[in-house]
Amino acid sequence: MSEHSRASGCPTTSSPANPDLVSSQDATPVDVDVVVVGGGGAGLSAATVLARSRRSVVVVDAGHPRNAPAAGVHAFLGHDGLPPGELLARGRAELASYGSVVVDGTVVDAVVPTGADRVSVTAADGTRWSARHLVVTTGVVDTLPDVPGLAEHWGTGVIHCPYCHGWEVRDQRVVVLATSPAAIHQAGLFHQLTDALTVVLHDPQALSSDDVARLRALGIDVVEGPVSRVLGEAGTLRGVEVPGGTVTADAVVVASFVEPLSPLLTTLGLELTDLEMMGRVMARSLAADAVGRTAVPRVWAAGNLTDPMSQVVMAAAAGVRTGAMVNAEMVTEDQARRLEQLD
């Protein structure tokens, strides 16, 4: 599983760094500058930038990280191989040092009244906040082909990102499960890492005859599918079962369908955009501009929610950028308010 989106398995925050930022159930909403929904790489990075700018920030995290099964984060300078949960724990600790809070919970409602300068945010336990701005970083989920055994090995023996897991399967026996035209792209990337590569035509329409001929000319085995099941025990993948028998493998590469599933997006009236690759919709994302501004006033987004293919380092960078822009927006608002008071 790639290290995208919500960054990792996370510890529970038992004592908020600043309890004044958390209201009791059914109490009057607590006024804060920003509520961040989602506590992965993007959310924690956005919150930290804001906290360092002396903004009051609450992060609400549901604790369902996309890359929890991954053994380590890669391509993140200075953190290569760090377990995802450890990265997130460090991020929470850093944020707490600036007086901000991570709340374990789920945001179930967010309302931006027309023309209002606040966003009303409600968690499942009844906790409420009134925020000047809302940053949504709830990430995405992966839907896998309906093949027995795929989900059980997802993130360990079943992978899809060569930059997240490719080095770990170098020179091993790898099967690419061809479910779309993107399989020829995946085959090329993983062939760079191992000569022991086999492409299984799980969907007979996934690749053209020219594609198959090209792969075979490059020395890549192509086997007729479909795959009926993935073979192996917990932590150890042994291969895949096809009509002609068994293809032995140490790892299986598959393209998941990636999309946001947070009901909060619908509540806010935010629309998703289809992302196509080679003529097929491969993912869906939330539409936002380059700095994370969405179509709804005072609502921002960052991370895999807006860029489903980003690794953790890219999601974190997007969070930094969005956090900085939210702070800049509030600086402009504050200056306008002060000047108005002087008139």
Q: Can you give the pLDDT at residue 51?
A: 98
The three-state DSSP-derived secondary structure of 1-60 is CCCECCCCCCCCCCCCCCHHHCCCCCCCCEEEEEEEECCCHHHHHHHHHHHHCCCCEEEE
Give this prediction's pTM: 0.90
pLDDT score recorded for residue 68: 77
Q: What is the pLDDT of residue 139?
A: 94
pLDDT computed for residue 69 by the predictor? 79
Give the span between the Cα atoms of 223 and 269, in whole angstroms.
45
DSSP state letters, 227-263: --EEEEETTEEEEEEETTEEEE-SEEE-PPEEE---H
- CATH T-level topology, domain 19-141+257-342: FAD/NAD(P)-binding domain (3.50.50)
DSSP state of 153: G
Q: What's the pLDDT at 3?
A: 38
pLDDT for residue 114: 86
53/13: higher pLDDT: 53
Query: What is the homologous superfamily of the domain 145-253 according to CATH?
Result: FAD/NAD(P)-binding domain (3.50.50.60)
Residue 15 has pLDDT above 60, yes or no: no
Lowest mean pLDDT across 58-72, 211-225, 257-271, 281-295 = 58-72
Question: To 10 degrees, the CA torsion angle through 61, 294, 182, 198?
Answer: -20
pLDDT at res. 2? 39
Q: Which helix (H) or strand (E) holds 267?
A: helix 263-268
Highest mean pLDDT among 10-14, 68-72, 143-147: 143-147
The mean pLDDT of the chain is: 91
Locate 279 and state its tokens.
Answer: 């003529």
Residues in the chain: 343
Cis peptide before 16 (omega within 30 of 0): no
Which amino acid, residue 119? V
pLDDT band at 70 (very low <50, low <70, confident <90, very high): confident
With CA atoms as reference, report the closest residue to 87 among 2, 3, 1: 3
Same fold, 19-141+257-342 and 145-253: yes
Band of residue 18 on the pLDDT scale cut at 50, 70, 90: low
Q: What is the pLDDT of residues 148-164, one digit of tens each?
A: 999 999 999 999 999 99
**Amino acid at position 156, single letter:** T
Distance CA 59, CA 46 (A): 10
Q: Is the pLDDT of residue 65 over 70?
A: yes
pLDDT at 106: 95
**136 pLDDT higher than 70:** yes
- Does the pLDDT value for residue 138 go beyond 50? yes
- Asked if pLDDT for residue 24 goes beyond 70, the answer is no
For the stretch 244-278, pLDDT in tens is: 999 999 999 999 999 998 999 999 999 999 999 88
What's the confidence (pLDDT) of residue 25?
55
Q: What is the pLDDT of residues 286-310, one digit of tens each?
A: 999 999 999 999 999 999 999 999 9
Give the whole-number percent of the chain exceeding pLDDT 70: 92
What is the distance between the alpha carbons of residues 270 and 266, in angstroms, rounded to a whole number? 6
Question: Per the structure block, which two tokens stand in for 6?
Answer: 């919500």
Give the pLDDT confidence of 314-324 residue by residue, as tens digits.
Answer: 999 999 999 99
Parse the chain into domains and list their residue ranges: 19-141+257-342, 145-253
CA 278, 283, 287 angle in degrees (round to 5)? 115
* pLDDT tens digits, one per residue of 81-129: 999 899 999 999 999 999 998 999 999 999 998 888 999 999 999 999 9
Report residue 287 as tokens.
């539409």
Taking residues 15-31, what's their average pLDDT? 65
CA 311 to chain centroid: 8
